[in-house]
Structure 1
Amino acid sequence: MKNTSQAAFIPQNPAAMMDIWKLGIMAFELWSTSLSTINMRQNLWQTQQPNSASMMKENQRMVSEKLEAAMETGLEMQKAMLGMAFGQQTPWWVTGRKAMLPYHRRSSANSRRLSRRK
């Protein structure tokens, strides 16, 4: 007898396929904005004094944003695992987007902010 209560590993409808497409786009955007942010911060580190007020502020911001994003992602993972413990399975493409969202949001914002900087 086949168990139909389990979430499908492979999507069975067009809406789920679109969610997987969105996850792929989000992953690509995260990758590209992360690379540009790393490049711009590396440029700042090479062109400014490491103990200047602006560099200290930027470094503190970088660390605090990463910690906040990690905590938000951990919370999403805990929600998914708690849901699994209670028999509520969320498809991997939904959980993946929720887990990547904090990093994606911050990486995109940092890339925009640093590119405007003179």
Structure 2
Amino acid sequence: MMGIYSAGMMALELWSTSLSTIAQRQHLWQTQPFFSPSMMLENQRMVTEKIEASVEASLAMQKAFFGALNGRYAPWWVTSQQALSPYHRRSRANSRRLSR
């Protein structure tokens, strides 16, 4: 039961930090010119982090899929935590970094 609670809390925290990060980046886009070096760096960082997180999440899902094919079934809350973990880690870090 604790695993289900942990997966739910991870999803809730991912949702809230994502909204915070989106709002903070939106504020940056409205207050700074898009061609400034700091904004170009932030936009490049955003895209790079999203690509890295999606690759890590897809590898976690492939690992779970191939494990299931070999008879090693993992509960859904374990695989969901493994798939959400890259997004969750980056979203929390971005929210902290942009709030300064």
TM-score, with normalisation over the residues of structure 1?
Answer: 0.84
Q: 1:68: which partner in 2?
A: 52
Instruction: Look up the match of 2:14.
Output: 30
Amino acid at match of 1:21: Y
1:94 equivalenced with 2:62 (yes/no): no
Unaligned runs of 5+ in 1: 1-16
Deviations 1:84-116, CA, capped at 9 Å, x for gaps: 111110100000000000000000000000001
Cα RMSD after superposing both structures: 0.4
Whole-Å separation in 1 of the counterparts to 2:67 and 2:12: 28
Distance in 1 of aligned mates of 2:25 and 2:52: 19
Q: Tell me which protein shows more helix as a share of its residues.
A: 2
Structure exhibiting the larger radius of gyration computed from Cα positions: 1
Q: Distance in 1 between matches of 2:89 and 2:76?
A: 20
Aligned to 2:36: 52
Question: Which residue number in structure 1 is paired with residue 93 of structure 2?
Answer: 109
After TM superposition, where is structure 1 displaced by more than 4 Å over at least 4 residues in a row?
A: none
Instruction: Output the TM-score relative to the length of structure 2.
Output: 0.99
CA–CA distance in structure 1, aligned partners of residues 3 and 72 of structure 2: 19
State the aligned residue count.
100
CA distance in 2: counterparts of 1:48 and 1:25, whole angstroms:
34
Runs of 5+ in structure 2 lacking a partner?
none
Instruction: Choose the corresponding residue for 2:62, options 66, 78, 84.
Output: 78
